[in-house]
Amino acid sequence: MQITALGHSCVLIDDGARILVDPGNLSTSWHGMGQLDAILVTHQHPDHVDPQHIGALLESNPQAFVGVEASVAEVIDLPQRVHRFAVGESVELKGTRITTVGGLHAVIHPDYARFRNLGYLIVGASGKTLFHPGDSLETTPQGVDFACIPTFAPWGKVEEVIDFTRALDAARGMLIHYAVLSDAGQAITATHIGNLCRTELVKVAEGEPFEI
């Protein structure tokens, strides 16, 4: 399984199928990307799906399966070919299985209604499993080889990130959702995870693929 961090929460997974998750407006490395087999969106917030550029991405990848949490299609004009996912669905593409888990976005404040959010459990053709949770730390599927770990957000704190990482107990992982943090801030979170969790954090360079 080859993984490429493309900024903030956007991740490219290549293991039988080339899958792009959360092309949001806090990253640009995915702009103009082609030859994708799937494009997945966890929820409707623009840092996870860029309303200005998602249309061009879909046009550049007419062959790609496009799956979004269903409410995304309520706030962004998307073509009919886009699949509106519910929790617990699975699809298979080129030997890679994608399963949706979760259901709700993390609590930003009790005065806000909670948005829906899907995590994607991706089992590649190699048998390796990656988990991208979107903006939720509530669902922790077991048997994950590589975890995408949200490092900081208006809805999170380090204690919750550590508990999420411990519960997943993936062999390896990387920090995502970091655009609102400085490099020094990311390092603080990484240090706490390193001190208190068994998961090995991979230090990644944006746009440079690595293998697990």
207 domain residue, yes or no = no
Average pLDDT value for residue range 145-153: 92
Residue 137: give the domain boundaries: 2-201
Average pLDDT value for residue range 188-207: 94
55 domain residue, yes or no = yes
188 domain residue, yes or no = yes
DSSP state of 112: S
CA distances 191 to 37, 56, 160, 163, 166, Å, are 35, 38, 15, 14, 14
208 domain residue, yes or no = no
89 domain residue, yes or no = yes
Q: Residue 14: what are its φ and ψ, rounded to 5°?
A: -130, 105
Distance CA 102, CA 119 (A): 6
pLDDT > 90 in the chain, percent: 87
209 domain residue, yes or no = no
Average pLDDT value for residue range 186-203: 94
Predicted TM-score of the model (pTM): 0.96
77 domain residue, yes or no = yes
User: Total structural domains in the chain?
Assistant: 1
Q: What does the block give as tokens for 13? A: 């997974």
**180 pLDDT above the threshold of 90:** no
159 domain residue, yes or no = yes
Question: How confident is the model over 51-86, as pLDDT tens digits?
Answer: 999 999 999 999 999 999 999 999 999 999 999 999
| Greatest C-alpha distance within the chain | 47
**143 pLDDT above the threshold of 80:** yes
Closest CA to 48 of 30, 25, 64: 25
CATH number, position 45: 3.60.15.10
Average pLDDT value for residue range 17-40: 98
Strands 11-14 and 18-21: antiparallel
Are the beta carbons of 97 and 65 closer than 8 angstroms?
A: no
* pLDDT (0 to 100) of residue 193: 95
